[in-house]
Amino acid sequence: MKLHEYQAKALLSRYGVPVPRSEVASSLSQVRGSAESFNGKCVVKVQIHAGGRGKSGGVKLVDSVDMAEEVAEQLLSNNIVTHQTSPEGVPVNDLLIEEALDVAKELYLSILVDGGLGKVIVMASEAGGMEIEQVAEDTPDKILREAIDPTVGLMTYQARNLAIGLGLDKELHGQFIKLLSGAFEAFIQTDCSLIEINPLAVTAQGKLLAIDAKASIDDDALFRQKDESLDYDSRQEPQIEKLARTSGLSYVKLDGDVGCLVNGAGLAMATMDVTMAAGATPANFLDVGGGADVDKVHKAIEILLSDPGVKKVFVNIFGGILRCDVVAEGILAATKASKSDVPPIVVRMLGTNADEGRKILKEANIGVHLVNDFTEATKTIKSLS
């Protein structure tokens, strides 16, 4: 679950990480009030669940209250598009009005789960700021890494190693170690999957501060993270993902053109592999789960059909608790309700009530391609491209 910058900063601040003074504003009068408290010298920042704001005009340094209001009016009335959003962009409901600092150097610091290592790692770079992705690509050795042993947590020597690697002046080492320890504690206590501070600023006055912050909480730990300040802003969520989440479907959008509907995560992954082997690319991962009913299958197909990238659909069901006739009814209901043209649907059904399911689809005459196995499925998908 993604948090807004202002939520991430409040969280970090509770764990002793220094952040600039700031206020959230969602109306022009609030913007004026906040800008006045900083004597007009402030940064106006859109609060969205995506990065790349600086490069897309979502972060503006202003030096008067009037200018803050002018910039805010512009930002609040439009969606913003960054390289991390969809082409339509995301709405701007809130702004963060933050004191402007005299930044001498921009560093990068993040804490995340490294799936390969099975550990939490800390990454840091002296080349922080808006070009960090380019730095990682062109000069990966500029990114420092420390893997954290889960049994002992972050050790002071690891934080000191990073401080030295970042080339920080000796006087800043203490500040850095304290800041990283605080951020690490916040990460663990709040069940984060990511905390990213970019930039971590060294000010002209010799202070370290998080001037940007991103945080995500592991969805599977949300049941025990009840803190109200960590509330999810669902206005930032793409429509399709919201529908999937509220319908209890595991859905991840991908770039291909074959919409996949499967039951079970293992079969879903195998289905994606088979799709790739057929020379096609999956448009998504979608697991309807074991206990789906007609309505849930209907919603799943609806989600696939509402993706303009989907040119064909591959339904791969191994019926167990989920009956194949239920899946067939769901497919039927969704294609009937669809307002746009339905792309070809390849269906492989085995297991509980497979014959009934296939009969329903055959009789409905909606151009479903029924196949018996993976080989036939790949052939059919290929022939449809």
**Least Cβ distance, residue 196 to Mn ion (angstroms):** 8
User: 18 is in the binding site of which of ligand GDP, Mn ion, none (Cβ under 5 to 8 A by kind)?
Assistant: none
- Interface with Mn ion (CB under 5 A), residue total 2
Long-range contacts of 240-243 (CB under 8 A, 24+ apart): 240/303, 240/306, 240/307, 243/299, 243/302, 243/303
**Least Cβ distance, residue 166 to ligand GDP (angstroms):** 16
Indicate the residue among 56 and 380 with the shorter CB distance to ligand GDP: 56
- Identify which range of 36-44, 89-97, 194-202, 274-282 contacts Mn ion by CB under 5 A: 194-202
Evaluate the CA torsion angle 85, 89, 94, 96 in order and state its sign. positive
Residue 171: CB atoms within 10 A of its CB come to 8
Catalytic, 157? Answer no
- Position closest to Mn ion via CB: 212
Per-residue b or e along 8-18, where b marks 16 or more CB atoms closer than 10 Å to that residue's CB: bbbbbbebebb
> Hey, which residues between 43 and 102 contact Mn ion (CB under 5 A)?
none
106 binds Mn ion (CB under 5 A): no
Active-site entry in 6, 108, 237, 251? 108
Residue 297: CB atoms within 10 A of its CB come to 26
Please say whether the beta carbons of 282 and 307 come within 8 A: no
Using CB under 6 A, list all residues that contact ligand GDP.
20, 43, 45, 51-54, 59, 61, 98, 100-101, 103, 106, 129-130, 198-199, 211-212
- Position closest to ligand GDP via CB: 54
**Least Cβ distance, residue 26 to ligand GDP (angstroms):** 18
Indicate the residue among 103 and 135 with the shorter CB distance to ligand GDP: 103
125 binds Mn ion (CB under 5 A): no
Q: Between the CA of residue 222 and those of 7, 231, 370, what are the distances in Å?
A: 15, 10, 40
User: 243 is in the binding site of which of Mn ion, ligand GDP, none (Cβ under 5 to 8 A by kind)?
Assistant: none
> Which one of 198, 284, 316, 335 is in contact with Mn ion (CB under 5 A)?
198
**Least Cβ distance, residue 227 to Mn ion (angstroms):** 24
User: 52 is in the binding site of which of ligand GDP, Mn ion, none (Cβ under 5 to 8 A by kind)?
Assistant: ligand GDP
212 binds Mn ion (CB under 5 A): yes
User: 258 is in the binding site of which of ligand GDP, Mn ion, none (Cβ under 5 to 8 A by kind)?
Assistant: none
Please say whether the beta carbons of 117 and 138 come within 8 A: no
**Least Cβ distance, residue 21 to ligand GDP (angstroms):** 10
Indicate the residue among 214 and 358 with the shorter CB distance to Mn ion: 214
CA 248 to chain centre: 18
> Which residues on adjacent β-strands are paired with residue 253?
284
Q: Between the CA of residue 228 and those of 108, 153, 222, 367, what are the distances in Å?
A: 28, 27, 12, 49
**Least Cβ distance, residue 128 to ligand GDP (angstroms):** 8
- Identify which range of 153-161, 204-212, 229-237, 345-353 contacts Mn ion by CB under 5 A: 204-212
User: 103 is in the binding site of which of ligand GDP, Mn ion, none (Cβ under 5 to 8 A by kind)?
Assistant: ligand GDP
Active-site entry in 146, 196, 237, 302? 196
Per-residue b or e along 311-348, where b marks 16 or more CB atoms closer than 10 Å to that residue's CB: bbbbbbbbbeebbbbbbbbbbbbbbeeeeeebbebbbb
User: 282 is in the binding site of which of Mn ion, ligand GDP, none (Cβ under 5 to 8 A by kind)?
Assistant: none
Indicate the residue among 80 and 186 with the shorter CB distance to ligand GDP: 80
**Least Cβ distance, residue 128 to Mn ion (angstroms):** 8
CA gap 15, 236 in Å, rounded? 26
The site for Mn ion (CB under 5 A) is made up of: 198, 212
Mind telling me the catalytic residues?
Answer: 108, 196
